[in-house]
A and B are shown apart, each in its own frame.
Chain A
Amino acid sequence: MLSPPARRIAGFGLRFLLVYGALVAAWPLLAHVHRPAYCALGNVLFGGGEASARFRPLDGPQDLDIEVRLTKRGPPLVSAVMKNDSRLVGYMPLISLVALVLASPIPWKRRRKALVLGLALVTVFVAVRMSIPIRRDFSRPDALQVHHPGAFGRWLLDVSERALLDAPASFFVVPVLIWVLVAFRREDWELVTRPRDPERA
């Protein structure tokens, strides 16, 4: 028989898997909403300036479902095309946070607040993930080059790409930290970490 805290932890884990599994399975339906929103965010953030990126959703079930047209406003005008996986870059961190918040054993009112604030912060994280390949392509020494990062800048870009974009668990670590920030209050934290009365433990 599990102790009450262990039951609570197991309950949280199971609820998380259930919500997360449902959201993963719902991708074919939600993709039609997510792709345009992903492109709108990209176009707003990276659509202007000397080095611009225009996002366009692609039809079909392929993994690389977004076309990104990179343009260096000349002279001479240079443009190139790359593709994005909006599911891995945007959707997965989003649903990680949603599942963590919904699985948290806190009142619904607090879940709603945590969800709103958390989604805003995760959107910032997604924007950072979207910006990495754009920045990388505009920094390569070719006709498209606009940025000229130094050795430290190149190293930072390389590490960011590996850590925040390529690593298999990259869509979890930051959402987990955001979840701790938006869902935990001082008193919740103290409940986990405060020494308890051994009589009741």
Chain B
Amino acid sequence: MGRQKKSRREARAAEGPGPGPGAPAAAGEAPEGLRAAKGPALRFVLVVAALMALFYGVFYTSPEENPGIDRLIRAYLGVYASAGAFLFDLVGLEAQARGTTLFVDAKAVEVVRGCDAMEPIAFFVAAVVALQVPLRAKLIGLGAGVPLLMLLNLLRIMALALISARMPQVFETAHITVGQTVFVVCTLCLWFAWALRATRVETERAVPAG
């Protein structure tokens, strides 16, 4: 029985992670137990889950109970609407912003809670914070990643405003299915790119020049 277990473990180790983000598995015995097998991945999931729970607790506390947060979010959403109108004007499209509402071709799209991409951005922040790399790498990741995601979200809102004005029949699909998906995939890819870059920079700094 013991031998069988051991050979199964050896077979698993020999199988390796395969192509892609899979280096050959460390030679020798595979670790036992969820904690040992998943190791840093489990720690990462727990830290991200805890940070997201904290975010949800603060962000989704109902506006009536927390008018301060609601005012802040409305101001933030208003910036998206104004920036969208400004960029539309730059490319010669008739657009206007009034509060959190963006008008394109006289059609209105209200930028509401949920259009703010706060959830994927919070997820990115949590994932950067949860990874065990030096503080400097985390600050670079947050400093570059968060504005990039906000810019990407602005483009998403502008695209949705255009779709609402010109192809209203596909708005729901573009809004829920396509827009959110592409945004979340971009968030994941951005995090992976940052993680790979952060560890590479760390090594390059450690190697003396010459």
Contact = CB atoms under 8 A, between A and B. Distances in A.
B100 interface: no
A62 to B, nearest CB: 13
B193 A187 contact: no
Interface in B49-73: 49, 52, 56-57, 59-62
Majority secondary structure, A binding face = helix
B40 A189 contact: yes
Contacts of A16: 185
Contact of B44 (A13, A107, A158, A180): A180
B20 interface: yes
Given A13-B185, A186-B31, A187-B25, A168 B176 contact: yes
Contacts of B25: 185, 187
Contact of B23 (A13, A88, A176, A191): A191
Interface in A171-201: 172-173, 176-177, 180-181, 184-198, 201
B196 interface: yes
A52 B155 CA distance: 45
Given A186-B37, A189-B39, A177 B199 contact: no
A12 B128 CA distance: 19
Contacts of B20: 8, 11-12, 104-106
A189 B22 CA distance: 9
A187 B57 contact: no
Choose among A12, A177, A188 the residue with the greatest number of B CB atoms under 10 Å from its CB: A188
B61 A13 contact: no
Contact of B40 (A106, A162, A190, A197): A190
Majority secondary structure, B binding face = helix
Given A177-B49, A189-B40, A193-B132, A12 B189 contact: yes
A33 interface: no
A169 interface: yes
B133 A191 contact: no
Contacts of A12: 20, 189, 192
Contacts of B119: 167-170, 173
Interface of A: 5-6, 8-13, 16-17, 20, 24, 88, 104-107, 109-110, 155, 158-159, 162-163, 166-170, 172-173, 176-177, 180-181, 184-198, 201
Given A168-B176, A180-B44, 11 more contacts: A9-B193, A13-B185, A17-B185, A105-B22, A163-B59, A168-B119, A177-B49, A181-B42, A185-B38, A189-B44, A192-B195
Q: Which 8 A-B pairs have the closest CB atoms?
A: A105-B20, A107-B18, A162-B60, A186-B39, A163-B56, A195-B203, A184-B41, A169-B119
13 contacts: A107-B16, A107-B17, A109-B15, A168-B176, A169-B119, A173-B52, A176-B123, A186-B41, A187-B17, A192-B192, A193-B40, A194-B199, A195-B203
Interface of B: 15-26, 31, 36-42, 44-45, 48-49, 52, 56-57, 59-62, 114-115, 119-120, 123, 131-133, 175-177, 180-186, 188-189, 192-193, 195-196, 199-200, 202-204, 206-207
